[in-house]
Amino acid sequence: MPRLLTATVALALVITGCSITTNPSNSPAGTQQAHEQTSTGTPEESTPAPAGTPRSQQPAATTPFEIVAGGGADATADKALDAKIIGAAWDIEIAPDGTANLLINNDRGQLRLERIHPNGTRTKVDLDYNRNLGRRIAVGPDGSAYVNLHVGEKNDAIYRIKPDGSQSRQPVIDYTTATAGIDARPGKAIGKFGTFTVDAEGRLVFAVEASKDGHSGVVIRRLETNGTVRTIAGKRAEFTTYDAAVAASAAALHPPSSGAALDWETTAAVRIDELVTQSDGTILLAAVGDDNGGTARTILAITSTGKLTKVATSQLGGTGGAPVAPAPFTQEGTVNDIGVLRDGLAAAGGLIAVSTTKHAPDDTTAYYNGKYTPGQRAVLDQARGKAIRLIRPDGSISTAALGAEFALGGGYLYVVERDFLANELVLGRVKIPA
């Protein structure tokens, strides 16, 4: 029987330590226009439950799922809600001021950065580097966006787009610099960043491969403010037999509780899909690899003190998990009931957001409970998304929304909804109840 998701007893401590600095005085992206077009008035408030009532017995939140961008008729519109947004969003990040940054691949295979600003306006930056193969963005504390773009024939490089839209012609870091001081395979087409993020101090944190004598593994490194690069987690596992290699790959996905991050042994069968950094120095990562004959996805946390802790894991080919509740923010169980983890990871304000393969309920009215324009409704009616679940500090889980890419910021969950046939998307958000 496929292994269901497990979690360590340190989960509550790990999640509680994940926080992001936000400015309450800044309105989240699209607030003004979103309320003009998607709200019918003051949102109805949930009836308070008696003190001590378990969350599973409390009434579900009635906060509407509001659209903040897209669904319009004009692809060139400056107002986010008038815009027709064409393409597939590969990644989304929320800046400290509430600006939503979307990395979008259009129908011609070209990349652009779309920014949905707190005042409801929209700006676009066409990425004009010589190769457009990046799939990740990260946002720094000053609002700058970082994107990895394939340059030349072999190597990735990470570039910076400033808040005013200007693009650096020189990369912040290339793969050669990123692997300085560690063993890597020169001359091989392996020069791709696994993923990356930016911490609260503006330092890039990224995953790269280390390799020597036929043994490879993934390591997490950081570009320091003085320009040096150092490893903060991971090292190559050493083994001499196939069975030992299989065991090492499985062990990498199930490290000992609170072990040293630099002692975390990895293999070529492990990759890092996502990295998220928090204001307290905690780094969350999603690792995928071979796990005793199957493929598993594990969420790990690296603390500011250099400890490594497992948050959750699941077999990608597994089944099970709690069904999606008829209404959002209804407790569906504990982290052990979360189901099969898929792409996507976000964290802020003591919450972790992940996506799962659980199917939506037959009636999704409670999840799309705003007032929408015909253009927005057309996209929502065709959207087919994953269940986006929140893990709270007490280990309880609830489905917050249904959609594709997602991010947390300013007390909201932002979600991309896409009509695949029309190649059109809208950006929505829902307020997370306390």
Q: Are 79 and 419 spatial neighbours (Cβ–Cβ below 8 Å)?
A: no
Residue 48 lies in a domain: no
| Backbone conformation region of residue 158, classed left if phi is above 0, alpha if psi is from -120 to 50, else beta | beta
**Measured CA angle at 82 (ends 103, 167), to 5 deg:** 35
Torsion of CA 162, 414, 390, 383, to 10 degrees: -130
Residue 45 in this model has a pLDDT that exceeds 60: no
Residue 132: per-residue pLDDT = 53
Nearest one of 342, 321, 322 to 332, comparing CA atoms: 322
Q: Where does 161-313 have alpha helices with state H?
A: 175-178, 242-253
Strands 307-315 and 294-302, sheet pairing:
antiparallel
Residue 308 in this model has a pLDDT that exceeds 60: yes
Residue 192 lies in a domain: yes
Token pair in block for residue 114: 């779309």
- pLDDT bin (cut points 50, 70, 90) of residue 398 is very high
What rounded mean pLDDT belongs to the chain? 81
Which residues, 6+ apart, have CB-to-CB distance to 83 below 8 Å?
A: 69, 70, 72, 74, 75, 76, 77, 122
Residue 51 lies in a domain: no
Of 289 and 42, more confident: 289
Nearest one of 116, 62, 50, 114 to 87, comparing CA atoms: 114
Residue 47 lies in a domain: no
Question: How many Cα atoms sit within 13 Å of 354 on the Cβ side?
Answer: 31
Question: What is the per-residue pLDDT across 324-379, written as a single tens digit (0 to 9) for each?
Answer: 999 999 999 998 888 889 889 999 988 999 999 877 788 888 999 999 999 999 99
Sign of CA dihedral 292, 310, 96, 331: positive
Residue 292 lies in a domain: yes
Q: Are 364 and 328 spatial neighbours (Cβ–Cβ below 8 Å)?
A: no
Q: From the CB of residue 387, how many other CB atoms can be counted at a distance below 10 Å? A: 27
Question: What is the per-residue pLDDT across 172-197, written as a single tens digit (0 to 9) for each?
Answer: 988 888 888 887 655 443 456 778 99
Residue 294 lies in a domain: yes
Residue 2 lies in a domain: no
CATH code where residue 416 lies: 2.120.10.30
Round to whole Å and give the CA distance between 382 and 417.
9
- Integer distance in angstroms from the first to the last C-alpha of the chain? 37
Residue 382 in this model has a pLDDT that exceeds 50: yes
**Containing domain of residue 315, as a range?**
11-42+57-431
Query: Residue 51 gets which letter from DSSP?
Result: T
Q: 166: burial class by Cβ within 10 Å (0-12, 13-18, 19+)?
A: exposed
Torsion of CA 385, 427, 5, 266, to 10 degrees: 110
Number of domains in the chain: 1
Side chain identity at residue 220, one-letter code: I
Mean pLDDT value of segment 77-84? 97
Residue 240: per-residue pLDDT = 84
Residue 170: per-residue pLDDT = 84
Question: What is the per-residue pLDDT across 123-174, written as a single tens digit (0 to 9) for each?
Answer: 999 886 555 566 789 999 999 999 887 665 556 788 899 999 998 778 898 8
Residue 194 lies in a domain: yes
